[in-house]
A and B are shown apart, each in its own frame.
Chain A
Amino acid sequence: MTLEKFDLIYKDNRCKIKDKEKILSKLKAILGEENVSTKEIDLIAYSKDSTLITLIWRIQGKLAALPDFITWPENNDQIVQTLKLANEEKIPVIPYGEGSGVVGGAIPVYGGIIIDMKKFNKVLEINDKDLTVTVQTGINGMNLERYLNAKGYTCGHIPQSIYMSSVGGWIAHRAAGQFSTKYGKIEDIVLGLEVILPQGEIIELKTIIRAATGPQFDKLFIGGEGTLGIVTKATLKIWPSPEKRELISFAFPTIEDSLEAIRNILRNQIYPAVIRIYDASETVRHFPQVKEAKDKVMAVFVCEGNERLVNLEGIITREKCEDNNGVNCGEEPVEHWFETRFRVTETSLIPPYKIVIDTIEVSVMWEHAAELYHLVLDSVKKVKGILYITAHASHFYPNGVGFYFSFAGVATGGKSNFEFYQECWDVIMDGCVKAGGSIAHHHGIGINRARWMEKEWGKALRSLIDIKNLLDPNNILNPGKTYFPPEKGGAK
């Protein structure tokens, strides 16, 4: 067994499967021989997602966790039957999209059956009049966007991970794209869903524009993190490709100035599709070529859509930046951002030096925005071993903002990398809660934030867990995440 040579990080409380051969043959009967695997080469492939701490484990030859079966269903019935079998046998089931999640959402912490959604990859319908596209949720984001572009549309949802994430993953983690200020987060884009509940019942949450038909049940599954159901179909908003794009950038003396400028832009109901600010440490990293921005806070804007509107948005955006001490840096920095926005190389270059890195995004209302930023930075700087902590903000609303922190450091004083990593996480979560923010803006809870859910939700968490128990009495769907951290639970 080659697998025996790999250390497991999540090895406690794994589900005990008495007769693996029996389950395997049942799965094969449900899904067909070619859609099930227990080969080592497949188990290792699904032992991970893109959580950054797993990169250090990967080069050290450790596995985050180990699934027992991998499945690739091709239709709803196969998922229904798999879930029924999992309930009978009390085996965890982990939905898997493209594995780009960064909070451990798709990591099979207790083992079990991976349901890889990749074969659910069809565009079912584009409705030009309604401006909607209906897709199967395993479709890769870029393959969807590329298809839409070719037909003259955009979904407007362009996360940095668009090349390597799926619609199902977006919905599960309430993702946000780079153009979110205009087009919204995924929860603003989804109009209808088909979901298979943990016990195998298929429900359709029909496509509606607005309704007053009781609670918004669909919202339970947008952010459901693969714990409340498997989303198989979704209807999303689309838009005609924009007529014009205007690129604007400004450098500000302080983070406060930049936040004020943007708050005032949005207060005037001007919605540039992209708004991003980079604190001074990130500005040197991302825009070393922009002289006017040296030691400053860089802000980039993209206005897009109808030409006349874009012109007006451009005028007001510039005006508000100038009113708040912004210095116009022209189009080049935005072009530079467009060129480099998907070119991530740090995650390859840094882990071999045993340097721990990660990014953590949170959100906060305007009132406490600057306070949260400073509080988090100040407290992380005190963590022993920290190399840097920086931030940018890339999602803005008339009422608040999402911050995105990046840190790097090394474990000192006998701590393991993982302990150091968790310490950094805890300090950021703590700062965020203290400043009145919300602990996740768009990456989700998964494993990494589960131990902070009580602080975030308060008593309401109890009701959420009741709903989870009601829908998934055997706790088979993606256990060990979201509500409790892995060490607090275990497979039944």
Chain B
Amino acid sequence: MSIFEQLKKYKYIIPIITNADRDVKRIILKSFRLKKKFFYPQGEYKADVKNLINCMLCLKMCRFDCNSLQGAKTERVAPAYKSLIGYYLSVGKIDPSKEENKDFINLMYECCNCENCKIWCPFDFSVVSLLETVRDDINDKGLTPNYIKEQIEKLNKTHTIEDTNIFKTYEEKVIANVESDGNDDVFYYIGCETMKYPEVVKGNIEILKKAGIKFSTNLDKRWCCGAPLFNTRHLDLAKEYAKQNIDLITGSGAKLVVTDCPGCADTLLNRYEKIGFKSKVKVIHILQLFKQLIEENKLILKNQIPEEFKNVVYHDPCLMSRNLNVISEPREVLKKIPGLNLLEPICNEKYTHCCGYSGTLHWANNDLAVKISQNRVNELIETGANIIVTACPLCELGLEKGIEENNKKKIKIIDLTELIAKVI
């Protein structure tokens, strides 16, 4: 709600207070004056206390759609409760430095980046964003949990969140690296996680080549986009990543960045800007390009889809549908695949549910991430589909963990690129 809307909404209160009797007025004015003294932390802090309070006192309209709550089925991870604990940690009601309070600190990381709460919130809050401000204070106090520190160490060592720089594994995965000559049209920005799915990377490269696009991948010089640094609130380090990535892209001469990972797209587009970096080059998800190529007849989907890949349900990655607003493009591509039967789950498009693996949750509580994933897989296969198709490597990774044992043979999770590759 904008300030203007808020003022309009609460205008009715003014005459009520002016007409109240003296005693009442005095008490209210005192509370107004002393609100900060009563309820805000002393000293320096970064936590967004005002909005943590708003959220923790809210009657929680978002809870039915909160992925961590619906996965865990316990009040502990309910959105407003996470804010309440964030508040108690901020004002010192719960002492964050005590070993016995580790659970409370941990809770600040038990959110995926799904932001389903934001859809329903009367304040437009995303709880994970509120919690990030508490994480700032946790870092400043030197209380960062070990599982977060480990990720930072890996990033410092390999520039990815893997034990080795995963981009450099291209040779063993038989992925063709395309060095830039400084004169490219397109930079194909491969996600760290996509490197775990060589077929997807290879498929994308093949499609780009077939369409006659001049592009590079520069895998020898690649770093992670830095998304984990934003989630864990290591923003100074994130600046180094932003600079490195923007320089690399700019150096390629490309006018367009296409990426296979919605997380990378969101980081390059939106998160860099928040720390003062803005890429001048346009960034899109690779499917947006494919849709255009199909329309221009530069990519022709000519073959019938094999029978076993016919019944498909599309899983909207949270970041893709909500942050990037890429909803129709993947569907339009899917509908152009000859013989494919596209099914839709109950919660789709902007209302999609999380795969469980975004944000810090899977480090803080992997069991819960798996449960969220199971919930989503069950929603997806309730449609009758045996193929779950998505457009995000992290979703693919997450959803794979959610397939229950008895379904492992029946259900396949693949990237949309792999489907395209089957029909060109």
Residues on A close to B: CB < 8 A?
A: 1-2, 5-6, 39-42, 44-46, 50, 55, 58-59, 61, 70, 72, 98-100, 116, 118-119, 121, 140-143, 146-147, 150, 161, 163-164, 281, 284-285, 288, 342-345, 347-349, 351-355, 384-388, 408-413
A348-B123, A387-B17 known; A41+B35 contact, CB < 8 A? no
Within 8 A of A (CB), among B3-24: 8-12, 16-17, 20, 23-24
Instruction: Judge if B81 is at the interface, Cβ distance under 8 Å.
Output: yes
Total CB contacts across the A-B interface at under 8 A: 147
Least distance between B116 CB and chain A CB atoms (Å) = 12
Question: For A284, what are the chain B residues with a Cβ–Cβ distance below 8 Å?
Answer: 12
Chain A residues positioned under 8 Å from B91 (CB to CB) = 61
Indicate if the CB atoms of B122 and A344 lie closer than 8 Å. yes
Supposing A45-B81, A387-B20 touch, asked if A355 and B31 sit within 8 A by C-beta, the answer is: yes
Bound-state CA distance A2–B17 (Å) is: 39
Which residues of chain B (46-99) have a CB below 8 Å from chain A? 53-65, 70, 73-76, 78, 81, 84-85, 88, 91, 93-95, 98
> In the complex where A41-B104, A61-B88 touch, is A385 in contact with B23 (Cβ < 8 A)?
yes
Say yes or no: A387 contacts B73, CB within 8 Å: no
User: In the complex, are the beta carbons of A2 and B59 less than 8 A apart?
Assistant: no
With A41-B104, A98-B63, A161-B59 in contact, is A61–B346 under 8 Å at CB? no
Are A146 and B346 closer than 8 Å at their CB atoms?
yes
* CB pair B63 A163 closer than 8 Å: yes
Q: A41-B104, A288-B12, A385-B23 are in contact. Are A351 and B74 (CB under 8 A)?
A: no
> B27: shortest Cβ distance to chain A, in Å?
5
C-alpha spacing A72/B76, complex, angstroms: 12
Which one of A44, A99, A147, A386 contacts B346 once the chains associate, using CB atoms below 8 Å? A147
Q: Which residues of B contact A342 (CB under 8 A)?
A: 61, 120, 122
Interface of A is mostly: mixed
B208 interfacial contact with A, CB 8 Å: no
A366 CB, min distance to chain B CBs, angstroms: 30
B55 lies within 8 A of A348 (CB)? yes
Q: Please measure, in the bound complex, the distance between the C-alpha atom of A146 and the C-alpha atom of B59, giving whole angstroms.
A: 20
5 smallest beta-carbon distances between A and B, as pairs: A343-B122, A118-B73, A45-B75, A348-B54, A142-B64
From DSSP, what is the main secondary structure of chain B's interface residues?
helix
Q: Report whether B346 and A45 are in contact in the complex, using a CB–CB cutoff of 8 Å.
A: no
Alpha-carbon separation in the docked complex, A40 to B93 (Å)? 13
Of B12, B73, B75, B85, most A-chain CB atoms within 10 Å: B75
Q: Does B129 contact A (CB under 8 A)?
A: no
B147 adjacent to chain A (CB < 8 Å): no
Residues of B within 8 A of A411 (CB): 27
Q: Which residues of A contact B27 (CB under 8 A)?
A: 354, 410-412
Q: Which of A40, A45, A140, A412 contacts B23 (CB 8 A)?
A: A412
Question: Contacting B93 at CB < 8 Å: which of A5, A99, A100?
Answer: A5
Inside 8 A of A146's CB, which chain B residues have their CB?
346-347
Subset of 17 A-B contacts with CB under 8 Å:
A2-B101, A6-B93, A50-B59, A72-B74, A116-B74, A143-B70, A147-B346, A163-B61, A163-B62, A163-B120, A352-B35, A352-B57, A353-B35, A354-B27, A384-B23, A387-B16, A410-B28
